[in-house]
Amino acid sequence: MDVIRLLPDSVANQIAAGEVIQRPASCLKELVENSLDAGAHNILVMVRDAGKSLIQVVDDGAGMSVTDARMAFERHATSKIREAQDLFHLHTMGFRGEALPSICAVAQIKMTTRRATDEMGTQLEIAGSMVQSQEPCQCPVGTNIQVQNLFFNVPARRRFLKSDQTELRNLITTFQHIVLVYPDIAFTFVADDEIVYDLPVGTRKQRIEGVFGKSKSKLYTSQLVEIEQQTELVTIHGFVGKPESAGKQAQQFFFVNGRYMRHPYFHKAVLQAYTGMLSSEMMPPYFIYFDIAPEQIDVNVHPTKTEIKFADEQAIFPILTATVRAALGKFNVVPSIDFLGGNIEIPVASADVRATAKAPELHMSSGYNPFDKPKQHVSSHWQDLYEPLKQPAKPDNIIIPDSPAAMQSVKDWTEITLHPQQLSGGYISCTTDEGLVLVHARRAHVNILYHQLISQQQAGRGVSQQLLFPEQLRVSPDEQPLLDTLLPELEHIGFQLEKTAPGEYDITALPSVLGNQNAETALRAIMSHAADRTTDISGEMQKHIALTLAQSAAMPMGKTMSEQQMQAMLQQLFALPSYRITPDGKTVVVLLTQEEIARRF
Ligand code: ADP
Ligand code: MG
């Protein structure tokens, strides 16, 4: 006896529903996407009991004919693709013809729909995949679909749903993901007879304001900076938050071709643009929209998945970082070191873009320390400092300048006069067009020295200073292995150690940033910090050594400085790619904006 049988459609649909419709929010998504595909201009969403009793979507889109209304609930019935090839040129949200049959397998549906060309509409009732009735009816053009008692016939699924609060939150998040893409369509969201959102047609920024403006401060959208980039591969636009808008939680959205997506890799690209501007737990808000040829992405992964595969992610990464960074550069705390209107040349992405996308280094004269020779006239100094910048970098190597200063010629720099003043306690203040800038002098110095050391390390040579009289270093047998592992890095950064006996060394040279400080103390600090850390990643260790050295060498807080010293310090500081915080995440620069100052009076 043969045992294989075809499943009845109702059963097959119920199985499919398990995949496509997992919760009220997935049902809402499918219905609203259908309305979008139908060309609606106004979409009303109503839910009751977090969608468990009712999800209703009313649109003024194209509507359906009498036959289509019924066909729509058949499995794999779709008006959107005809052959497999079409899958690669999708311009609609739906295409699988799975949503309505899945929904009608697990809920009770009532739908009215009418096309503009029809005099009468049609009303259809379906429950558990069974058509209950279909009749002509009077109704406006468009489609009005009610999904009642979701999972009424699948008790296990119904029980699996979360609390009303959680499911409502899911519904709202899903709704947000859609409305943020379509500011030219009016949306209303009503939950249990209460209007949650009433979003008129507007600009994209107004839509963001409409969605988040209520919960966030009024300043929300004024803290967003527009981004815009067009390459042959991809168009990127949208908004990112200024560093001061970052918080522990932030609204972060990526969209591609009108679809919300999660993309951890691109998320990293965005965060990279904020390097040095935010401490690690602060998150910037962003709303970033990608437009890309449909064949460059694969959305066919899974109907409920929000991860989307890109064919050329590695090429997009640096473009994204550069775009965000350029936009942020325009709003730097010191306006005089602004990006030049953000018109940075970004190469058209190609396979080797990653290789060439290295940020140009800012070359500092090695070992320069503004505090070594306080009498020296600063501005003459500075010419040597930024000497290498005089030769324009090859534009095809630049994807993003490492710092705003890298964009400026030396001449512009010497024209900057910040008129810094020292406050008691070791802070420096200066005024700019944007407001009052306060700088933590010691941390600024740590930052400057740290970056000097790092760029020396990258250049492969620490600048050392020979000692006339070598200092002695003694290490105990248990310290010996640690020192052995550190030795190559230490020599790299400018130390020279000669072993004279087991556990005994002569320090014959030390990094010149240390000046005439005690070499042994600095070495001990490096060793004790390194011992606390388990990392053996060489890059990490290098950074770590550089930081410890910078901290040992930096001036103490509260030291008196001349105006020229402060001027030199600020100019060097603001030339750094990450001047706002120290490498270990401490605040270096505080900006009190004009508005903030005004608010205090
Ligand atoms: P898909 O959207 O993948 O084609 P669905 O099951 O979601 O599959 O919908 C099936 C078909 O029903 C659609 O292709 C479309 O022709 C029609 N349809 C569904 N909802 C609407 C609507 N709101 N307005 C007009 N037509 C609709
Ligand atoms: Mg659909």
Structure tokens given for 213: 């403006």
Q: How high is the pLDDT of residue 83?
A: 62
Q: How high is the pLDDT of residue 539?
A: 64
Q: Which amino acid is at 382?
A: W
Please tell me the distance between residue 78's alpha carbon and the centre of ligand 1 in angstroms.
6
Q: How high is the pLDDT of residue 107?
A: 95
Q: Can you tell me the mean pLDDT for 100-122? A: 95
CA-based nearest residue to 125, from 141, 113, 142, 140:
113
CATH number 3.30.70.1710 given to 9-202 = no
In short, whether 90's Cβ falls inside 6 Å of ligand 1 is no
CA-based nearest residue to 345, from 364, 362, 360, 334:
360
Q: How high is the pLDDT of residue 369?
A: 43
In short, whether 64's Cβ falls inside 6 Å of ligand 1 is yes
Neighbours of ion ligand 2 (CB under 5 A): 34, 94, 99
Q: Which residue's CA is the nearest one to ligand 1's atom 5?
A: 97
Residues whose CB is less than 8 angstroms from the CB of residue 308 and which lie 6 or more positions away in sequence, other chains included:
256, 259, 261, 263, 297, 298, 299, 301
In short, whether 70's Cβ falls inside 6 Å of ligand 1 is no
Nearest 5°: CA angle at 25, between 24 and 30?
100
In short, whether 303's Cβ falls inside 6 Å of ligand 1 is no
Q: Kindly identify the ligand whose nearest atom is closest to the C-alpha of 78.
A: 1
Structure tokens given for 400: 């993003």
Nearest 5°: CA angle at 528, between 527 and 534?
85
Pocket test for ligand 1, best of 37, 73, 75, 118 (most atoms within 8 A of CB): 37
- Cβ–Cβ contacts within 10 Å for residue 144, how many? 20
Highest-confidence segment of 43-57, 268-282, 382-396, 583-597: 43-57
Taking 90 as the threshold, does the pLDDT of residue 561 lie above it? no
Structure tokens given for 167: 């499911």
pLDDT greater at residue 99 or residue 396: 99
Residue with tokens 């069974």: 130
Q: How high is the pLDDT of residue 397?
A: 26
- Cβ–Cβ contacts within 10 Å for residue 407, how many? 21
Pocket test for ligand 1, best of 100, 109, 139 (most atoms within 8 A of CB): 100
Task: Please state, in angstroms and rounded to a whole number, the distance separating the CA atoms of residues 509 and 471.
Answer: 9
Structure tokens given for 385: 């400092």
In short, whether 158's Cβ falls inside 6 Å of ligand 1 is no
Task: Please state, in angstroms and rounded to a whole number, the distance separating the CA atoms of residues 417 and 408.
Answer: 15
Please tell me the distance between residue 64's alpha carbon and the centre of ligand 1 in angstroms.
9
Give the global pTM.
Answer: 0.59
In short, whether 385's Cβ falls inside 6 Å of ligand 1 is no
Q: Can you tell me the mean pLDDT for 340-369? A: 36
Instruction: Write the CATH number of the domain with boundaries 205-330.
Output: 3.30.230.10
Q: How high is the pLDDT of residue 538?
A: 57
Q: Kindly identify the ligand whose nearest atom is closest to the C-alpha of 90.
A: 1
Please tell me the distance between residue 73's alpha carbon and the centre of ligand 2 in angstroms.
11
pLDDT in tens, 476-524: 877 888 888 888 888 888 888 988 888 888 888 888 888 777 788 888 8
CA-to-CA separations, 379 to 130, 245, 376, 416, in angstroms, rounded: 85, 35, 9, 11
pLDDT bracket for residue 596 (50, 70, 90): confident
Q: Which residue's CA is the nearest one to ligand 1's atom 27?
A: 34
Q: Which residue's CA is the nearest one to ligand 1's atom 16?
A: 79
Q: How high is the pLDDT of residue 181?
A: 96
In short, whether 77's Cβ falls inside 6 Å of ligand 1 is yes
The mean pLDDT of the chain is 78
CA 466 to chain centre: 46
Atom of ligand 1 nearest to the CA of 142: 24
pLDDT greater at residue 189 or residue 84: 189
Contact predicate 147/130, CB 8 Å: no
Structure tokens given for 55: 């999800």
Please tell me the distance between residue 304's alpha carbon and the centre of ligand 2 in angstroms.
12
Q: Can you tell me the mean pLDDT for 284-310? A: 81
Helix (H) / strand (E) containing 569: helix 563-574
63-72, 213-222, 308-317: which has the minimum mean pLDDT?
Answer: 213-222
φ and ψ at residue 548, rounded to 5 degrees: -60, -40
Domain 394-442+560-599: which CATH class? alpha beta
In short, whether 61's Cβ falls inside 6 Å of ligand 1 is yes
Q: Which residue's CA is the nearest one to ligand 1's atom 20?
A: 34
Task: Please state, in angstroms and rounded to a whole number, the distance separating the CA atoms of residues 288 and 237.
Answer: 6
Please tell me the distance between residue 591's alpha carbon and the centre of ligand 2 in angstroms.
49
Residue with tokens 């020279």: 496
- SS3 of residue 270 by DSSP: helix
Dihedral through CA 556, CA 558, CA 562, CA 565, nearest 10?
40
Q: How high is the pLDDT of residue 212?
A: 85
Pairing of strands 297-298, 309-310: antiparallel
Give the start-to-end residue ranges of the domains of the chain. 9-202, 205-330, 394-442+560-599, 450-553
In short, whether 32's Cβ falls inside 6 Å of ligand 1 is no
DSSP class of 294:
G
Q: Can you tell me the mean pLDDT for 119-129? A: 95
Q: Which residues pair with 55 in a beta bridge?
A: 47, 147
Please tell me the distance between residue 458's alpha carbon and the centre of ligand 1 in angstroms.
58
CA-based nearest residue to 357, from 322, 306, 407:
322
Atom of ligand 1 nearest to the CA of 98: 6
What DSSP line would sit under 71-130, residue for residue? Answer: HTTSTT--SS-SSGGGGGG--SS--SS-HHHHHHHSSEEEEEEE-TT-SSEEEEEEETTE
Taking 80 as the threshold, does the pLDDT of residue 526 lie above it? yes
Please tell me the distance between residue 420's alpha carbon and the centre of ligand 2 in angstroms.
62
Residues whose CB is less than 8 angstroms from the CB of residue 463 and which lie 6 or more positions away in sequence, other chains included:
366, 367, 456, 494, 511, 512, 513
Q: Which residues pair with 439 in a beta bridge?
A: 428, 589
What DSSP line would sit under 473-491, residue for residue? Answer: EE--TTTHHHHHHHHHHHH
Please tell me the distance between residue 32's alpha carbon and the centre of ligand 1 in angstroms.
10
Please tell me the distance between residue 125's alpha carbon and the centre of ligand 2 in angstroms.
18
In short, whether 34's Cβ falls inside 6 Å of ligand 1 is yes
* Environment class of 408 (CB within 10 Å of its CB; exposed 0-12, middle 13-18, buried 19+): buried
Q: Can you tell me the mean pLDDT for 286-311? A: 80
The CATH homologous superfamily of the domain defined by 450-553 = MutL, C-terminal domain, regulatory subdomain (3.30.1370.100)
